[in-house]
Amino acid sequence: MARLPPLNHLPLRIARGARSRGAGGPCGRPRRHPLPPRRSRTHALGHVTGDGWLDDRLADIDDYAARHPDAFAAELERYAGVRRAYVRGLLVQPGWSGGDAWFACFLARATDATCRSVVRARTRAGLDADWQEVAAGSGARPGSDAYAALRLALADSYRRWARPLQPDAALTRALQQRGQREPQEH
């Protein structure tokens, strides 16, 4: 029977079982891109968009971004036009989560603004400001065309991430309207 080395010869984080999130990748090597700090579920209240269904999805996006930071950053780069490095930098800022970054960048797209301008607007309003207030400053309110565009973008992100999504009545309407606008393929 092989004898195991005493615990004092093992690296501290392994010996004590204290390997923290984002501290290392496989084999204990440092990650290229550390995971953003996780926020508690109660902090999901910080997503107050004026739309409870959307708020719940943003909390789920927080979890997705924490687990899949590269895929999340790629999504925002490809479909919201924001560089991956900017997304990664935003996620390590205090008070910013994946749901916040997603909302800011896709709100910008829905209102013909830049993600940076929406991020600046939220920063000026203070990190305790809710998204409904920031969105209103961009001319977007729950029930508006911009919010319908946000719902469609969210449905598209979930489809690309292969995440289950239960649409509510507003998303169902937006999907039907989009289907009527797009030419039918034969």
pLDDT tens-digit map of 62-108: 999 999 999 999 999 999 999 999 999 999 999 899 999 999 999 99
The CA–CA distances, whole Å, from 12 to 3, 9, 19, 24, 26 equal: 20, 9, 9, 13, 16
Is the whole model's pTM more than 0.85, yes or no? no
Report, as an integer, the average pLDDT of 110-130: 92
Return the higher-pLDDT residue of 109 and 29. 109
- CB within 8 A of 162, min separation 6: which ones? none
The whole-angstrom separation of Cα 77 and Cα 67 is 18
Dump strand ranges (E) for the chain: none
Please, which pLDDT band fits residue 3 given cuts at 50, 70 and 90? low
Q: What type of residue is 36?
A: P
pLDDT over threshold 90, residue 4: no
Contacts of 126 (CB under 8 A, 6+ apart): none
The yes-or-no verdict on residue 25 having pLDDT over 60 is: no
Q: How many CB atoms lie within 10 A of CB 142?
A: 17
Q: For residue 138, what are its two tokens?
A: 């961009």
Distance, in Å, from the CA atom of 74 to the CA atom of 83, rounded to the nearest integer, reads 8
- Listed by start position, the domains of the chain span 48-162
CB 122 within 8 A of CB 134: yes
CB 33 within 8 A of CB 69: yes
CA 76 – CA 96 distance, rounded (Å) = 15
109 within 8 A of 76, measured Cβ to Cβ: no
Q: What is the DSSP letter of 32?
A: S
Tell me 186's DSSP state: -
